Structure 1
Amino acid sequence: MANKNRCLTPTTDDECKRARLYLQDTLDVVGGKWKLVLISILRGGKLKFRELTREAGISARILSKELKEMELNGLITRTVVKTSPIMVEYELTPYSNTLSEVITAMHEWGKNHRQKIIGQQSTEPNSL
């Protein structure tokens, strides 16, 4: 008999496999070092490419790659502003709001984890 506690809520092996697939899909869309950072920055409103580069502290090459992936997944929109020189602005789509609970949960977990780890380090001898 399969261990039914190994998945979050599924009760069958097929449901477990689907659950892992859904988690992988989520990680494919928001995983990596930059996507959630960029989403949190863009929550403040639309920004130009250079502003995003500066705000995130990310190279233009990596930012371009991340923004393309986010646009393909429907999380941001890219608008070309017909000025001289031409500017490109990015902003979150309404669909990106569906990640709010995920981002909030990750924020809380990260805050608690940081406190736990820093608390452990400060009680160890010779800790910084």
Structure 2
Amino acid sequence: MNELHHENGKFARKAIGQPLIPVTFRVSPTERQQLSDQAQAAGLSVSEYIRRRALGLTVVSRSDLTLLNELRRQGGLLKHYILADDHQHALRREAAQTLAEIQEAIRRIAHDR
């Protein structure tokens, strides 16, 4: 069994009850930099990033998570605005349309993860 722990600003696996076996392979310097950049964007070590990609597991970038959280927050605020009774009908309809667009963006981003 494995668990994730936070190490040096990144998430890494920690083996529980079984040793981790190193796997090595060669890449060009450009490929190494790309892997490092992608792992950093996801907040993972390069090893954890490669392991997840090789095993078909989800890798989510920190910016996607930040964007999703902000879209959800904005959608929640807009929902409160729509439900308030003191707005003109046209503004409420426009706000409802904007809320639907935010919800669709959330679905798209969450699905692409």
Same fold (TM over 0.5): no
- Give the TM-score, by structure 1 length: 0.26
Bigger Rg, which one:
2
